[in-house]
Structure 1
Amino acid sequence: MSGEAAAMAIPPHPASDPARPLVEVRGVVKHFDLGGHFLQRERPTVKAINDVSLTVRRGEAFCLVGESGCGKSTLARIVMGLLTPTAGEIHFDGTRIDGLRHKARMPFHRRMQMIFQNPYASLNPRRTVQQTLEEPLRFHSPALSDAEVKAKVEQVMVSVGNDPSWGNRYPHEFSGGQRQRISIARALMVDPDFVVADEPISALDVSIQAQVLNVMMDTREKLDLTYLFITHDLSVVRHFGTRVGVMYLGTVCELADTATLFENPRHPYTRILLSAIPRVSTEEMQPPGLPGEVPSAMNLPSGCVFHDRCPLANARCSAEVPKPLPQADGTLVACHAVEEGRETPGG
């Protein structure tokens, strides 16, 4: 059976409203209780995600950026159901899914797949590539024949630039870039609508990062995929993303179209991140100018969580949590300085 025939044998996803966002995150909070001594009055808690709301539109590559430890991966795992939110809601294609039991959530597992950061750890070393790729297909589509499964594996392998003859080999026989392309193939085996990619190129050599990104961009166009792409590298976002959410210490401080964000960043933190992108000319490089370190998520600053490192902060910033407000260019910015029109130091 041909690869096309195998694809046709997989039951199609139910029809949905194309105008509706594919993924909606509504007021999500995630706190991790660290336990502690029974005599302690307050148990230590990591406030990883703090009232985050965003939408991911169909067919786009939504990028979530920020420094390490800002909550990007935690939010991605909540969306995928690997973590349960402390508060808030996750909606997929109009259905709330965060509170569903395992059996009720099963149809959504097929439509939502994930590519993990480390290709050296995410593939089972005891399974061949063929076994790895067959597993999700046999689980979600048990009615498929062996010939149909084999044809589908070959079709997907070719689509991501892999040689179908790799099927009998084991993960340790491949380079990091080849392993990550195998991981991408595994995510595509069940024809998902939505793929979360959690730092998918950060563990790879710079020389092959572009190859993996090109594979992801090609598959998005060919298969009409929707991506949630987690990264700390804004130079990657510029070429891959359609929209960007900037996170800091468990909050989203700015949401914008990619072109708008790079042409006119509004939030002080976004500006500092962009200033740190390496330039071709050293004369163009600007020092980040970001004092101090990221505060502990166990003891969040009052008011705006960025105020103690922000060059525009005033008394209001330290006392009042800013709300995300729409700007004339469509950007959402949570910043008192932007709201008050004082977007330069001393303004």
Structure 2
Amino acid sequence: MTDIIAPDSRPLLELKQLEKRFVLDKGFLETLKLRRGRIVRERRAVHAVNDVSLSVARGEALCVVGESGCGKSTVARLVAGLLTPSGGEILYDGARTDNRSRAGMMPLRKKMQMIFQNPYASLNPRMTIRQALEEPMHYHNPAMSRAEVRDKVAEVMRTVGVDPSWSMRYPHEFSGGQRQRIAIARALTVDPEFIIADEPISALDVSIQAQVLNLMLEAKEQRGLTYLFITHDLSVVEHFGTRVAVLYLGTLCELADTRTLFENPKHPYTRALLSAVPQLSDDHPKHIRLKGEIPTPINLPQGCPFYSRCTYANDRCRVERPLPVQKPDGSAVACHAVEEDRLDG
């Protein structure tokens, strides 16, 4: 499969034919199945990520979007080293990371940080905010004195809009928005260059989401951060992302810069997603209602994963899996109908 590389000649992060399968039947008895009156051995697995190749250039914010269960968070955890790929490669700054041990990943932890979705679960309830923020600094910067660590923590807390005088409080004393600000502060304490944000605002009130999003954008500009931003909210993508990768059933459908994707979506699934975004103007595309059954990630279809819900599908789509094809505007689309110019409009 041809790798889809960002404009930068040396991407900070590169995924090559990445795959992740979660085995369901692990024990011997679980693998025994009755098929047409015969007992056979069959090991089932959830195919969460399937042959995904893309890259992230320094200084950009690549947003990964798709509906629930499409493999977005799995990609984030694979990049962070929290999961081990079933196949493919992950390269960070030109060096492979997917084959490293836990100890081998430690030098990267300072460069690569992750912000989790649920601010109510990502902070240790037994630790004060000061302890939570000081812990990674003591670990990654053992030469720093206690006074230097305290000063750094206070500086980062002010950066994210949290009063340093609150540092002796516990997480339960803060609101959801404040907790997520603290989680962002924890990621920033070690001065990373790359942040993986797994739906960091989806658990927050709408009134707080914009504040946290703007905070992350300010951190990007001030610190030169690179983001891998996981979300299902396309309105957030339009505001935050430089490029967008659309996943469906763990497969890459379309990859394009943000303006190109919103002005000229090409894949039928991308068009359906964008048509569902609420708009104030009357000239936005008519809502596309997808019909048909969603395939299970346990038994993926032989051809295009979107075949059963696509109005443009034909026999080739049923038997042959499409590969991403580069388009003149720089986007890449995995769709036979787009390749054959069968889409109207």
CA shift, 1:159, in A, is: 1.1
Task: Read off the aligned partner of 2:233 and give its amino acid letter.
Answer: D
Task: Read off the aligned partner of 1:307 and give its amino acid letter.
Answer: Y
Match of 1:20 among 1, 10, 23: 10
Question: C-alpha separation between the residues in 2 aligned to 1:285 and 1:101?
Answer: 48
CA shift, 1:292, in A, is: 3.2
Q: CA RMSD in A?
A: 1.4
Counterpart of 1:95? 95
- Asked whether the 8 Å contact 1:65–1:72 carries over to 2, the reply is yes
CA shift, 1:289, in A, is: 1.4
CA shift, 1:294, in A, is: 2.7
Counterpart of 1:13? none
| SS of 1:292 mapped into structure 2 | coil
CA shift, 1:44, in A, is: 1.5
| SS of 2:228 mapped into structure 1 | strand
CA shift, 1:301, in A, is: 1.4
- Asked whether the 8 Å contact 2:304–2:320 carries over to 1, the reply is yes
Please list, as runs of the form range in 1=range in 2, the aligned pairs for 1:58-77 lying within 5 A after superposition: 58-77=58-77
Question: C-alpha separation between the residues in 1 aligned to 2:331 and 2:74?
Answer: 24
Identity between Structure 1 and Structure 2 (%):
64
Counterpart of 1:31? 21
Please list, as runs of the form range in 1=range in 2, the aligned pairs for 1:235-246 lying within 5 A after superposition: 235-246=235-246
Counterpart of 2:290? 290
Please list, as runs of the form range in 1=range in 2, the aligned pairs for 1:115-194 lying within 5 A after superposition: 115-194=115-194
Question: C-alpha separation between the residues in 1 aligned to 2:17 and 2:284?
Answer: 39
Structure 2 unaligned segments of length 5 or more: list them: 1-7, 34-40
Question: C-alpha separation between the residues in 2 aligned to 1:230 and 1:284?
Answer: 25
Counterpart of 2:214? 214
- Asked whether the 8 Å contact 2:18–2:89 carries over to 1, the reply is yes
Task: Read off the aligned partner of 2:12 and give its amino acid letter.
Answer: L
| SS of 1:168 mapped into structure 2 | coil
- Asked whether the 8 Å contact 1:279–1:285 carries over to 2, the reply is no
Distance 1:277 1:333, change over 3 A: same
Task: Read off the aligned partner of 2:238 and give its amino acid letter.
Answer: R
- Asked whether the 8 Å contact 1:119–1:176 carries over to 2, the reply is yes
- Asked whether the 8 Å contact 2:81–2:105 carries over to 1, the reply is no
Structure 1 unaligned segments of length 5 or more: list them: 1-17
Counterpart of 2:302? 302
Counterpart of 2:264? 264
In the superposition, the TM-score normalised over structure 2's length comes to 0.93
| SS of 1:190 mapped into structure 2 | coil
Task: Read off the aligned partner of 1:258 and give its amino acid letter.
Answer: T
Aligned length: 328
User: Which moves more between the two structures, 82-91 or 100-109?
Assistant: 100-109
Task: Read off the aligned partner of 2:119 and give its amino acid letter.
Answer: P
